[in-house]
């Protein structure tokens, strides 16, 4: 009996989180996974964008098929301001985040008069428009060829000039965003968001300003994406429109779905799965990669609509309670 109680009382959560943190800390070292540092940086960046979509789609129930547009806005604000106008990269990043957030705020008003499929279409259109702008405003953005020579981020004389250093920078941002999002979800605001997902009429009847909450979370997701975009261009020192097109937005949706829409930490899992798939496995498929994303999306939605990560978690729980049951016998 004593043993059972101890087993039940033992909380694995901090152990698991600690293990993950140590893993994250050690991964970019050469004797561990050093050759994958760039991939790990991309996973971190995409996690940031995906968390925003999880909050918007998974918690609030508002679809966006144009998240890559905000990712791109952050990227181009940082690239153009820091390279062409010589603005301090950190300042450029902040300006980018504020400008992208403001842009999201302005379009939120008309766009959230729409619901469901219509909202999906409108955000899809937004993504396409922004992609065309990134390509066509060549005098600023460098057009389809992109622009290079974007300066590095630095703190004083410490320059983030290697992937190894940037890995820690990106994951610092990523984990901060995950933590903030986790706190938001477990709060009055998070409850309001989930309530809006459940029933807008009932939410309004309980005093929730539905339109305002949708707008706020849309802006927050846009700012997350913008920050990721800024870090992205300073990581590559180069930017072109390719990652911010329709395929980019689809990838973000697939990441959110694989990780579990209503799961903050699942975003890491989703981003990692899709990035590994796209960077390591799908290269040989060339243009067919969008077919594969479509297939993954379909399969996940049919078999584990709550998300692969969430399903695995629940299997683990069941296994654990099953084990406890045996001990009790």
Partner 1 sequence: MTNTALQVTGVTKYFGGLAALDGVEAAIDAGKISAIIGPNGAGKTTLFNLITGVYPFTVGEISYQGTSLKKLPAHKRTQMGIARTFQNILLFPHMTCLENVMVGQHTRSRYGFFEAALRLPKSRKEEEAVNLKAMKYLNLAGLGMKAEQDAMSLPLGQQKLLAVARALASEPSLLLLDEPGAGLNKLEKMELSDLIRRIREMGITVLLVEHDMELVMGLAEWIFVLDSGKKIAEGTASQIQRDPKVISAYLGEEVEYVES
Q: Which residues bind partner 1 (CB under 8 A)?
A: 180-181, 183-184, 186-192, 194-195, 197-199, 201-210, 216, 220, 262
Considering the complex, state which of residue 92 and residue 310 has its C-beta at the smaller distance from partner 1: 310
CB of 223: closest distance to partner 1 in angstroms?
11
Complex with partner 1: residue 165 or 197, whichever CB lies closer: 197
* Shortest distance, position 47 Cβ to partner 1, whole Å: 17
Q: Which two tokens stand for residue 300?
A: 């996940």
Of the pair 121, 317, the CB lying nearest partner 1 is at 317
DSSP 109-128: HHHTT--HHHHHHHHHHHHH
Minimum separation from the CB atom of position 140 to partner 1 (A): 33
Nearest to partner 1 of 33, 204 (CB atom): 204
SS3 assignment, position 156: coil
**Cβ of residue 220: shortest distance to partner 1, in angstroms?**
7
Instruction: Extract the tokens encoding 325.
Output: 């049951």
CB contact set of 306 (below 8 Å; sequence gap of 6+): 260, 261, 262
Cβ-based nearer residue to partner 1, 142 or 260: 260
Q: CB 174 → partner 1: shortest distance, Å?
A: 15
Do you know the residue count of the chain? 329
Closest CA to 169 of 150, 154, 179: 154
Q: Determine the distance from the C-alpha atom of residue 187 to the mean position of all C-alpha atoms in its chain, rounded to a whole number.
A: 20
Asked if residues 56 and 64 have their Cβ atoms less than 8 Å apart, the reply is yes
- Tell me how crowded residue 275 is: count the other CB atoms within 10 A of its CB: 21
Calpha distance 109→215 (Å, rounded): 7
C-alpha span between 141 and 77 (Å, rounded): 9
Minimum Å gap between C-beta 111 and partner 1 is 19
Cβ closest to partner 1, residue 155 vs residue 206: 206
Q: Could you identify the residue written with the tokens 């995409």?
A: 46
- Tell me if 189 sits within 8 A of 196, measured CB to CB: no
The enclosing H or E element of 279 equals none
Nearer to partner 1, 11 or 205 (CB): 205
* Least distance between partner 1 and beta carbon 32 (Å): 32
């Amino acid at each position: 009996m004593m043993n059972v109680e101890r087993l039940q009382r033992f909380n694995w959560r901090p152990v698991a989180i600690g293990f993950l943190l140590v893993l994250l800390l050690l991964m970019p070292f050469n004797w561990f996974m050093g050759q994958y540092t760039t991939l790990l940086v991309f996973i971190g960046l995409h996690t940031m964008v995906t968390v925003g979509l999880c909050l918007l789609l998974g918690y609030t129930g508002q679809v966006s098929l144009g998240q890559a547009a905000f990712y791109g806005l952050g990227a181009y604000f940082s690239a153009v301001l820091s390279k062409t106008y010589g603005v301090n990269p950190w300042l450029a990043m902040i300006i980018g985040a504020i400008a992208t957030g403001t842009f999201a705020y302005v379009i939120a008003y008309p766009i959230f008069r729409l619901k469901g499929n219509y909202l999906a279409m409108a955000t899809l259109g937004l993504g396409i428009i922004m992609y065309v702008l990134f390509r066509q405003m060549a005098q600023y953005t460098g057009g389809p060829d992109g622009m290079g020579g974007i300066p590095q981020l630095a703190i004083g004389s410490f320059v983030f000039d290697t992937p190894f250093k940037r890995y820690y920078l990106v994951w610092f941002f990523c984990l901060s965003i995950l933590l903030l999002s986790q706190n938001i979800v477990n709060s009055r605001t998070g409850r309001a968001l989930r309530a809006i997902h459940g029933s807008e009429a009932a939410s309004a009847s309980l005093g929730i300003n539905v339109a305002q909450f949708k707008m706020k979370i849309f802006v927050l997701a846009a700012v997350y994406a913008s920050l990721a975009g800024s870090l992205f261009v300073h990581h590559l020192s180069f930017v072109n429109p390719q990652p911010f097109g329709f395929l980019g937005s689809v990838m973000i949706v697939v990441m959110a779905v694989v990780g579990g829409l209503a799961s903050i930490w699942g975003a890491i899992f989703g981003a990692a799965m899709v990035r590994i798939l796209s960077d390591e496995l799908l290269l040989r498929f060339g243009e067919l990669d969008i077919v594969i994303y479509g297939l993954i999306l379909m399969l996940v939605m049919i078999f584990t609509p709550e998300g692969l990560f969430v399903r695995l978690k629940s299997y683990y729980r069941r296994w654990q309670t099953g084990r406890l049951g045996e001990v009790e016998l």
